[in-house]
């Protein structure tokens, strides 16, 4: 298969591209930077075909993806700085990326009749439950701009396409890009005491494992909504920091 991947300079896109290469698929990577700018680890993603793309530019999205003619698009790119997204001067930009950019990609996938896999988030829910949300739950109640715009991205995909996967993920960490593991290691180097909240609960998810699942999906026609995290019991950010 030929698969177009957005956000390859991030932690998940990096591992998705490498998993595609491992399975013999052709991965074409894209991101905002003029050239691949992830970690120079010598893996397949570092030498794969790369296209600079601003997903908020509808014409550019149509031109680039139409030129590639992919069998599928795996859309990892997103505005993920949750706290910064709340700044009044950032809201329009966050929405342009997470909702508008996703709509542009979905529109082209419809024209080309190709599959689309969209990475979403647990933030589309309110986080106040005592039981895990099920993938078919429609009780959306995002509490911040990030969650709201990612939900708008979900709706763009589901209302435009029939051949789609919407995969909600949480607490991801990987070797490339920024994540909680790297942040805590850096804090530990500069502080005698590390203080972390213990009232937020989740399941850390390694992007290396998640990438393998996503490629399993894109190789299938088992379309729909999925919730994907690593196995194991729920832990708090404090518990996770102790492990780190």
Long-range contacts of 67-71, Cβ-Cβ distance < 8 Å, separation of 24 or more: 68/2, 68/4, 68/28, 69/2, 69/112, 70/2, 70/3, 70/4, 70/28, 70/112, 70/114, 71/1, 71/2, 71/3, 71/114, 71/115
Active site residue 146: yes
What is the rounded distance in angstroms from the CA atom of residue 60 to the CA atom of residue 232? 42
The tokens of 16 are what?
């998705």
Report helix, strand or coil for 94: helix
The tokens of 46 are what?
């570092």
Out of 36, 50, 118, 146, the active site residue is 146
What is the rounded distance in angstroms from the CA atom of residue 144 to the CA atom of residue 133? 18
Residue 55 near residue 78, CB atoms below 8 Å = no
If residue 116 lies in a helix (H) or strand (E), which one and from where to where?
strand 115-121
The tokens of 26 are what?
């052709």
Report helix, strand or coil for 224: strand
Phi, psi (rounded to 5 degrees) for 74: -110, 115
Catalytic residues: 146
């Amino acid at each position: 298969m030929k698969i177009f991947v957005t956000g390859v300079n991030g932690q998940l896109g990096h591992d998705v591209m490498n998993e595609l290469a491992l399975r013999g698929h052709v991965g074409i990577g894209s991101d905002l930077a003029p050239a691949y700018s992830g970690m120079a680890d010598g893996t397949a993603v570092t030498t794969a075909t790369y296209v600079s793309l601003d997903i908020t530019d509808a014409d550019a999205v149509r031109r680039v993806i139409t030129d590639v003619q992919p069998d599928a698009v795996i859309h990892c790119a997103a505005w993920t700085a949750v706290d910064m997204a709340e700044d009044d001067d950032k809201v329009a930009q966050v929405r342009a990326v997470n909702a508008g950019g996703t709509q542009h990609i979905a529109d082209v996938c419809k024209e080309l009749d190709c599959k689309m896999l969209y990475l979403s988030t647990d933030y589309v829910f309110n986080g106040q439950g005592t039981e895990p949300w099920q993938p078919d739950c429609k009780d959306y109640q995002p509490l911040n701009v990030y969650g709201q715009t990612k939900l708008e991205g979900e709706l763009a995909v589901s209302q435009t396409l029939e051949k789609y996967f919407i995969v909600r993920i949480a607490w991801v960490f990987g070797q490339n890009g920024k994540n909680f593991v790297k942040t805590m290691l850096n804090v530990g180097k500069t502080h005698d005491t590390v203080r972390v909240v213990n009232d937020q609960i989740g399941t850390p998810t390694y992007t290396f494992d998640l990438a393998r699942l996503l490629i399993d999906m894109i190789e299938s026609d088992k379309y729909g909504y999925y919730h994907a995290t690593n196995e194991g019991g729920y832990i708090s950010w404090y518990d996770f920091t102790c492990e780190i």
